């Protein structure tokens, strides 16, 4: 985990089209993917940010965990994802160290990445995701 780069920072938004316009036209980021992630009930839009990605999340239904997290806010920082080479080994190491895990086993994130969330109760209230990219992430940047 030491030196793990940031894979992406995810922001949940109420109005995805307005958020895309803000991040591309106003701030100058480039959109590199847009896809539905059924497992998390979100539509995700990735924006290139150097070697990292800003990911905008739009909940697909009002009662999903991500939608409840946003609440009444127009947008809200949802999680930071750190890129790891071996997610299964990292999860085992963290669990052995007493970290509470939301996902004991990796699940599918955007574009086939293997991801797992750590429980905010173990991470100072901040939601942290571990992310093992499918293939070379730089192919997409
Ligand atoms: Co994520």
Express the helix, strand and coil content of the chain in percent, nearest 5 each.
30, 40, 35
Domain span at residue 46 reads 6-134
Kindly give the distance from the C-alpha atom of residue 57 to the centroid of ligand 1, in angstroms, as a whole number. Answer: 9
Mean pLDDT (the chain, rounded): 92
**Angstrom distance (rounded) from CA 135 to CA 66:** 27
Domain assignment present for residue 79? The answer is yes
Q: What is the pLDDT of residue 112?
A: 86
Domain assignment present for residue 49? The answer is yes
Higher pLDDT, 38 or 33: 33
135 pLDDT band, cuts 50/70/90, is confident
Kindly give the distance from the C-alpha atom of residue 81 to the centroid of ligand 1, in angstroms, as a whole number. Answer: 6
27 pLDDT band, cuts 50/70/90, is very high
110 pLDDT band, cuts 50/70/90, is confident
Residue 141, pLDDT > 60, answer no
Kindly give the distance from the C-alpha atom of residue 105 to the centroid of ligand 1, in angstroms, as a whole number. Answer: 15
Residue 80 β-bridge partners: 9, 128
39 pLDDT band, cuts 50/70/90, is confident
For residue 76, the domain's CATH number is 3.10.180.10
pTM for the whole thing? 0.89
Kindly give the distance from the C-alpha atom of residue 96 to the centroid of ligand 1, in angstroms, as a whole number. Answer: 23
Confirm if 118 and 126 have CB atoms less than 8 A apart.
no
Overall domain count for the chain: 1
Q: What is the pLDDT of residue 136?
A: 59
Kindly give the distance from the C-alpha atom of residue 106 to the centroid of ligand 1, in angstroms, as a whole number. Answer: 12
Using the CB atoms, write b or e for 56-66: b if 16+ within 10 Å.
bbbbeeeebeb
The number of angstroms, rounded, from the C-alpha of 56 to the middle of its chain's C-alpha atoms is: 9
Domain assignment present for residue 140? The answer is no
Percent of the chain with pLDDT over 70: 94
Kindly give the distance from the C-alpha atom of residue 42 to the centroid of ligand 1, in angstroms, as a whole number. Answer: 11
Confirm if 72 and 26 have CB atoms less than 8 A apart.
no
To the nearest 10°, report the CA torsion of 97, 99, 103, 104: 30
């Amino acid at each position: 985990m030491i030196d793990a780069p940031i894979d992406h920072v995810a922001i949940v938004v109420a109005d995805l089209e307005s958020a895309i316009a803000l991040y591309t036209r106003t701030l100058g980021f480039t959109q590199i993917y847009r896809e539905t992630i059924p497992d998390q009930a979100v539509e995700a839009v990735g924006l290139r940010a150097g070697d990292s990605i800003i990911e905008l999340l739009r909940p697909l239904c009002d009662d999903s965990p991500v939608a409840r997290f946003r609440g009444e806010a127009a947008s809200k920082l949802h999680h930071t994802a750190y890129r790891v080479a071996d997610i299964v080994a990292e999860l085992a190491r963290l669990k052995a160290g007493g970290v509470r895990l939301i996902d004991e086993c990796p699940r599918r994130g955007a574009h086939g990445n293997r991801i797992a969330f750590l429980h905010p109760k173990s991470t100072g209230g901040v939601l942290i995701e571990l992310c093992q990219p499918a293939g070379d992430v730089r192919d997409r940047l």
